[in-house]
Structure 1
Amino acid sequence: MPNSGSSNSNGAAVKGKRSRRRSRAPREDPARNELVSNSLQSAQHCLLQQDHGTAFVHFLLALNLAPALKDLARESFRFTLLKWADELDGVGRIQELFDCYEQALELFPKDEVIVNSMGEHLFRMGFRDEAAAHFYKALKLKPDFPEAKENFYRVANWLVERWHFLMLNDNGRNRKYQLAIQRAVQDGCRSVLDIGTGTGILGMCAKKAGAREVYACELSKTMYELACEVVTANDMADSIKILHKKSLEMEIPRDIPHRVSLVVTETVDAGLLGEGIVESLIHAWKHLLLPPPNSEDVPVSIPSRTGRVIPAGATVFAMAVECPEIRRHHRLCVRAVGGLDLAAAGPIRGPVKCSGDADESSEPYTTERLSRLPGGFTALTEPCRVMSINFNNPQELEGLCLREAAQLRVPLIKDGDVDALAVWFQLHLDQENSISTGPDEDTCWEQAIYPVPSHYSVKCTDELLVEVSCRDAYLRVSCTGVTSGSQTPHMDEAASAEVPSNPELELCSALAGLQTDHELPAQPFLLECSEIALLNNANYHECFQEALAKLFSFFQSRQSEVIEESGSSLGPLYVLDVSEGFSVLSLMAARLAPVRAYSSVEKQQHQALLRLLARENGVRVDALEFWLGHVEDDSAVLQRPDSEKLWSAIMLDCVEICGLLRQNLMEKATFARCLLEDGGRIFPERIVIHGVLVESDTLLQESAVQGTEPTLGFNIAPFINQFTVPVHVFLDLSTLECTRLSAPAEMFVLDLMDSSKNYSCRDVRVRVNASGRVTAIPFWYHIYLDSDIFVSTFRPDSHWKQVAVILQHPLVVSAGDWVRLCVSFHKSSISMTAVREERKEETAVH
């Protein structure tokens, strides 16, 4: 059959033709292959010579010419990139650094290690939004990538601050805003601008209430993108326009077509004005809002052509308090620690200065939840109204910062020591709805704390003199003195001391004269609140003093033996303190024995304070040195003191103030061990982690949005909960609202002196002693300086806070149950999973 034969023949021909195409080898290019081979060889040679920049260039050339080799060369290329990037970072060649990462990502766009590493550099340089995007992308590429997880969890706290969860879980607050917005829209406010929209909840309330046009703006890129996701999920993407910019940059008609009739906002902090609400509302009244009802621009016959603001205003209250916890973070409360007399330093105070004459760079207040302060507080005055603001009066807003400081006389109701003024406010949303941030309210808010800079006592017959001002758009509330009957107002001299405009320069100048004269510096030394709390931690310094004394006693007895045998001395011991921030451990060491003590403090003012304390405590001038002046960069801070010497003791700072272990702790310990002389020690030698099972709705509320009920039915939780983190930081376990379901148990041990004793994972069985739901596992550290002496991070005088692992799914338990915890350690991160073990009788039933 010719037709069939013809068909078969054609088919065979086609098949043969396809076969030949598949088997044809690619055309060889000898010159290209030789160039690729030479480049790879050159790259490897440069790596051996630690010439990472040249090696990187050779790798780029070879892999661009021969992409098929990418999988084989991936590990070497990664190593080269990371090393070269660190070198570029170290010398400040930032543009070249990011050019290298962009070139690397063109070759390996889905390499999670490169993506994560670029995020780390971005974060160190302050580009938090961009860094988070890279960490998030790295996790998407490899969900179980531990480094990206740890990085994302750390940066998530910066991007979406934890108060967002508390605020969204505060149904009372959300409901009152919703009612006020509904009333305004019903009154004719049909065009709405939500300033600082966050997740978009207030804008969605306006749309749901019937607003015709809704606009919103958000400065944070992360929150802007989050708000866009939220309004889309709630089917409002077409009816709410969200802009990624500050309201101060918005213009008509570029950003919105015309003036709006209602602005809604909650750009207020614990001190009311700290997020710039006054500035943003002044701008809004001038450029974005319709005129207020009392404006001459609005005819009485057209009330719908007027604008308004929610909240309508605020009333601010203050109360003097006595509180040891506030005191120990803002004022030196001890005269001596670890054998050192601190009185020689004169006044030491924190960075918070709230008086009206403070420079604009100083912090006017800090924040605390008074109801959760360890040890509580005592109210020394009744709450008094210190200021009212009408946000619907543009003239009042413009004159707020120009007002003369108000002087108030507040009667004392108890004897005591004034430690701070606690400030809160009532936010008047409209005539019927208001929100109070007071210490007695069940609210998501903290209170603003204005510490008193020095100690003075008051009687219940006295009056406190209080000054209130709004200079530089911050609310400043300060104690200026006390009146006792007809007596003249008085206040401690230290309390009224001024901060120099350039404290470091003036301190250096003042201290230059101290070589011949023993007068104290005229100005107080400034330390961070956590550094003051550390100085006030007597137990911490006593433990270090005892451990150092034991180590030096060992070395001195050994030196005595050497002298007896050989007649020659071994010279001084070398001690290095690499604590973060201000530390007196190096001085303590220098007082205990003939040592050369090296401190890693960097700030000139810190160095000046240590020199002053050294002189007043009889420490020789040559016994104390500042080590960062001897090394080329911070990464070399653990290097040996000279080519012939090793360290006798290295003091590592292992725990951050927030309660987390410091990053790269174990790597630093490994390096430090190599630099110790025989018999030398790392302080601490080991860290034991203790934890407890708890049930705490508070921790759940602060860690994730709990469904749609608190958010008025809007679907917000799945989007913002992407930024939940498994470890809750800055926790004060002593005042946490919780039910303890077990006794404390040892969870994990990290040995800094003997790496062979370390492990990465450990199973721990914990006995339940009360029925409930295990929602979290708070933990803290026993920091062992030697085999017997330890410092606990869970003490009333601790300068550290605790942390808690939040369980993804609460575990229902009964008294008598056993819970098996799998505790894992990677880099500096602790993670835990919990499983309830079945009882034998339960197993038999099944």
Structure 2
Amino acid sequence: MPNTSARPKHGRRTRRRRRQEDPARDQLVSSSLESAQQCLYNQDYGTAFVHYLLVLSLAPVFKNFAKDSFRFTLFKWAEELDSVGRIQELFDCYEQALEVFPDDEVILNSMGEHLFRMGFRDEAAGHFHKALKLRPDYPEARENFYRVANWLVERWHFLMLNDRGRNRKYQQAIQKAVQSGCNTVLDIGTGTGILGMCAKKAGAAEVFACELSKTMYELACEVVAANGMDGSISILHKKSLEMEVPADIPRRVSLVVTETVDAGLFGEGIIESLIHAWHHLLLPPKSGENEFEEVSTTGRVIPAGATVFCMAIECLEIRRHHRLCVTEVGGLSMAAAGELRSPVSCSSEADDSMEPYTTERLSRLPGGYKALTEPFTALTIDFNNVQELEGLSSREVREIRLPVTQEGQLDALAVWFQLHLDEENSLSTGPQEDTCWEQAIYPIHITTCFVLKPRDELIVEVSCQDAYLRLSSVAVLRDGRKIHLNKHVELQHSGNSISNSEAELCSALACLQTNHSQPETFSTLECSEMALLNNQDYHQSFCGALSKLISKLKVQKQNQEQVSVMPAPDSSLFYVLDVSEGFSLLSLIAAHQGGVKAYSSVEKNKQQEVLRRLAQSNSVSEQHLEFWLNHTEDEQGVLQRPSREKLWSAIILDCVETCGLIRQKLMEKASLARCLLEEGGHIFPEKIVVYGMLVESDTLLLESAVQGREPTLGFNIAPFINQFTVPVHVFLDFSTLECRRLSEALELFVLNLMDANANYTNREVKVQTISAGRITAIPFWYHIYLDREISVSTLSQNSHWKQAAVVLQEPLEVRAGDWVCLAVRLHESTISISARLENTPVQMD
């Protein structure tokens, strides 16, 4: 009967609820929650975290109640684990937290930040992306995702896909190879999958692809599926060197296609991957002994080979990023610094921390460059000859003599190549080409400038040690005699005044004799640190602003001492704290003022030794310069006062990243710094004024997203890779950017580091256009005010900073005289800008 069957069901539900009421468990939950709160109060975050985990796993009903406290405990405990290097425990804690709160966007974002900082960029991107899916308006996750996107999908991916000439030539070479019988294909380093899809479209029976980057692998899978080829192209998330037959592909393939080449040709490991492919993944090459040999039984590679070109150049922009160009910085003589060089070197002394070359787009270098020699062929390579590939690293060093065609300072060797896809199709990465590639730069490391002259011959050594192309300028032949560059000192170079060649030669030979047995002292600085050191305007401005501050504080102190019965101990000293990133001379410049004890942020031992030598040679007492990070146990002590009885006279903050962005958490650091200043003390800089301009630039569009409505080679790729479009373009040289200026420069925003009440987070600015066009971007830069009168600009020609630009998602059509409203927003030191057209003319603020 219904009634009798209903009662037992009801009774079973009642009994089940009663069984859940466990007094012992409830007591454990209650006591653990109390213990968690008490441990949190006592800053015992590790124990508090364990108690919170127990409470939330036993009693999920407390999740909403304890979420904020649990998050705070997790983050503080993670900071402690990070500071002592217990990284595995840190990630274990985050994994446990995500088991309790799997859809907590704040925890996901925080874990992503730790992953990114420790180099796990793919995993970090996954956490940021998931956090954004859970909460699309979460600004921290969005900004972090933009930051990691720049690492995972580098801007050259967009440039390559926008390079129609390059795409078409690759497609033609692949189509020709497939139609000639290469019907099984492996795409090594597939990226978006475009080359593999070209092979399939050309009629290949089987297509395989591999990609090491997890982000690009997942992107390629999405692209291939969207183009209806997911069942016919097999993509592996694997390095090609780890692939085997038949474990990864069922049989050897007849064609390998790849574009794993960088500006220096071999930097992405193409030699190693092709040697492995020829031995394990590719059919053997055509022997050439039997003209009737079946094409289908042989293997081949696209590209088929390459020719590498090189020339010597003069370029101030390269010079100032790789060696010291000045003898004095901020009133300090640099004579005792020893040799300072960038971490880019092909010398035999270079270790694993050194790079053999850097990259630049020569056509966009500020100030340009001068070719001192004609281009010469440095190397040729046949990718279809495995013996040649295997013998590359053991090739004898080749010595080439280059006739000098123009007089100029020798600053670097510039390298580019012609990539031979097949007999008919090739691509050039030369500086005069409209190409998506940059050129490889091999800077010359000599302590003083060397002037090449017509009729000189430059001797260049070419080798391929460790499958890297290595070039070095070792000597110059002048009047039949050899001058070794690494030991030469050029005595004179002034305009058209050229010193006697015989005198120069004698000087060089004397230098060889006197210095031959003495090991050189050198220290390595990052390229941006070297450029900063060469920025005389910045250091001179700082020197002047600090001198004004010290003079003012001296007068203030004298007035106080006149009314004080007993002066405080060490009252004659002023304390300056430098929290700059990397190598900085500012603390030593401060100590050089006299009456100042300065605390330096330099961490590396060899760089500290440079500062000590400079201090001694510039008569700065050891007691007046201290390296405060040597005594700091963790990051929490960054701005703490070493001596509690006194406050700082000046605190120097590093406000702008070299790439052109405001440093993260700048305003939080400024807020803390203000609390640590003595009366009349100062933060350097005092304020930062952001300036910008409306421009039309197709270049910025091409580097920011795949452009156009038409599919790339007929494939639907843009919607997938454009997910990684970021709104801010960094490392921009505005002086050489191809653009049309649609407005005058205008003030966008002000960040006041000395006066918190003067700051704001949002601002609307109205600007009138000066010509018609499409607003595609808003480049911005900074005027950095050290005090009210002294400022430096990040846009100046000798600045070590680059600029940045906001790229609009949709270009804005304007006519001359239109008014455009810019909404400028600051969120945690990140600036965002949006633009809209005003319907009616409005006067600017």
Q: Confirm or deny: 8 A CA contact 1:354 1:477 kept in the other structure.
A: yes
Indicate the residue corresponding to 2:455 in structure 1: 461
Give the match's secondary structure for 2:763. strand
1:528-556 Cα offsets, whole Å, 9 max, x none, are 11111001101110110011001101111
- For residues 12-52 of structure 1, what are the alpha-carbon distances to aligned partners after superposition, in whole Å with 9 as ceiling and x for unaligned? 99999999999999434443333322222222221111111
User: Is the 2:450–2:489 contact (alpha carbons within 8 Å) kept by the matching residues of 1?
Assistant: no
Q: What is the aligned partner in structure 1 of residue 512 from structure 2? A: none
Match for residue 129 of structure 2? 136
CA distance in 1, matches of 2:224, 2:535: 49
Q: Which amino acid aligns with 1:785?
A: L
Q: Give me the whole-angstrom Cα distance separating, in 1, the residues matched to 2:38 and 2:380.
A: 72
| Residues 779 and 802 in structure 1, CA contact (< 8 A), matched pair in contact too | yes
Q: Does 1:126 align with 2:119?
A: yes
Per-residue CA deviations over 1:587-614 (Å, capped at 9, x if unaligned) read 1000112111110111011101000100
- Aligned partner letter, 2:632: V
Question: Is the counterpart of residue 94 in structure 1 residue 92 in structure 2?
Answer: no
Residue 188 of structure 2 corresponds to: 195
**Greater displacement, 731-740 / 97-106:** 97-106
Task: Note if contact 1:774-1:813 (Cα within 8 Å) is conserved in structure 2.
Answer: yes
* Counterpart-to-counterpart distance in 2, 1:485 and 1:339: 40
After TM superposition, the structure 1 stretch with the greater mean CA deviation from structure 2, 779-788 or 17-26, is: 17-26
Distance 1:324 1:710, change over 3 A: farther
| Structure-1 residue corresponding to 2:556 | 558
Partner of 2:482: 488
The answer for the alignment partner of 2:409 in structure 1 is 417
How far residue 349 of structure 1 moved from its aligned partner, in angstroms, is 1.5
Q: Is 1:332–2:332 an aligned residue pair?
A: no
Structure 1's 687 and 14: CA in aligned 2 closer, same or farther, altered over 3 A? Answer: farther
Cα shift at 1:175:
0.5
Question: Which of 384, 388, 395 matches 1:392?
Answer: 384
SS of 2:192's partner is coil
Deviation at 1:495, TM superposition (A): 9.1
Which residue matches 1:593? 594
Partners of 1:194 and 1:265 within 8 A in 2: yes
Distance in 1 of aligned mates of 2:818 and 2:458: 56
Counterpart CA distance in 2 for 1:60 and 1:139 is 25
Percent of aligned positions with the same letter in both sequences? 68
Alignment match, 1:215? 208
TM-score, reference length from structure 2: 0.93
Alignment partners' CA distance in 2, 1:664 and 1:786: 21
1:628 and 1:634 in contact (8 A); partners too: no
Residues 316 and 388, structure 1, Cα contact 8 Å, conserved in 2: yes
Distance in 1 between the 2:143 and 2:22 partners? 46
Q: Which amino acid aligns with 2:530?
A: I
Distance in structure 2 (CA, Å) of the matches to 1:823 and 1:20: 64
- Report what 1:434 is aligned to: 426
Residues 90-136 of structure 1 deviation map (CA, whole Å, 9 limit, x = unaligned)? 12222222221111111111110011111111112211111111011
Aligned to 2:37: 44
Distance (Å, rounded) in 1 between the aligned partners of 2:577 and 2:137: 38
User: What residue is the counterpart of 1:238 in the other structure?
Assistant: 231
Q: 1:306 to 1:650 in 2, by over 3 A?
A: same
Q: Distance in 2 between matches of 1:383 and 1:817?
A: 49
Change in Cα spacing, 1:104 to 1:462, as seen in structure 2 (3 Å) is same
- Name the structure 2 match of 1:568: 567
Shift in CA distance, 63/422, structure 1 to aligned 2, threshold 3 Å: same
Q: SS of the counterpart of 1:671?
A: helix
Letter in 2 for 1:431: E
Match of 1:7 in 2: none
Q: Which moved more, 1:127-136 or 1:353-362?
A: 353-362
Pick the aligned partner of 1:475 from 459, 463, 469: 469
Structure 1 range deviating more: 793-802 or 478-487: 478-487
Unpaired runs of at least 5, structure 1: 1-9, 497-518, 842-846
CA distance in 2, matches of 1:723, 1:239: 26
Give SS of 1:488's match: strand
Structure 2 CA distance for aligned equivalents of residues 130 and 494 of structure 1: 50
Q: Secondary structure at the match of 1:592?
A: coil
Q: How does 1:248-287 map to 2 (within 5 A)?
A: 248-287=241-280
Deviation at 1:159, TM superposition (A): 0.8
Are the equivalent residues in 1 in contact too, given 2:83–2:635 (CA < 8 A)? no
Aligned to 2:823: 822
CA separation of 1:182 and 1:19: change in aligned 2, threshold 3 A? same
Aligned twin of 2:155: 162
Which residue is equivalent to 1:692? 693
Give, in whole Å, the separation in 2 of the partners of 1:16 and 1:399.
Answer: 87
Question: 1:79 offset after TM fit, Å?
Answer: 1.0
1:435 Cα deviation (Å)? 0.1
Partner of 1:677, secondary structure, is: strand
For 2:712 and 2:470, the matched residues in 1 are separated by: 33
1:320: how far off? Answer: 1.1
Q: How does 1:104-119 map to 2 (within 5 A)?
A: 104-119=97-112
Q: What 5-or-longer segments of structure 2 have no aligned partner?
A: 491-516
Matched residue count: 809
CA distance in 2, matches of 1:722, 1:150: 14
Normalised TM-score (structure 1) = 0.92
**Which has the larger displacement, 125-134 or 631-640?**
631-640
C-alpha deviation, 1:152, in angstroms: 0.9
The answer to whether the aligner puts 1:774 opposite 2:768 as a matched pair is no
Amino acid at match of 2:603: E
Structure 1 residue 840, shift from structure 2 partner: 6.3
The aligned residue for residue 605 of structure 1 is 606
Equivalent position of 1:500 in the other structure: none
Report if aligned partners of 2:711, 2:717 keep a CA contact under 8 Å in 1: no
Matches within 5 A, 1:720-731: 720-731=721-732
Separation of aligned partners in 1, 2:352 and 2:542: 39
Per-residue Cα deviation, 1:452-493 (whole angstroms, up to 9, x for no partner):
112200111211111111111110112111112323344251
Instruction: Report the Cα offset of residue 333 of structure 1.
Output: 1.0
Contact 2:690 2:749 (8 Å CA) reproduced: yes
Q: Would the alpha carbon gap of residues 295 and 118 (structure 1) be closer, same or farther in structure 2, given more than 3 Å must change?
A: farther
Q: Secondary structure in 1 aligned to 2:539?
A: helix
Residue matched to 1:447: 439
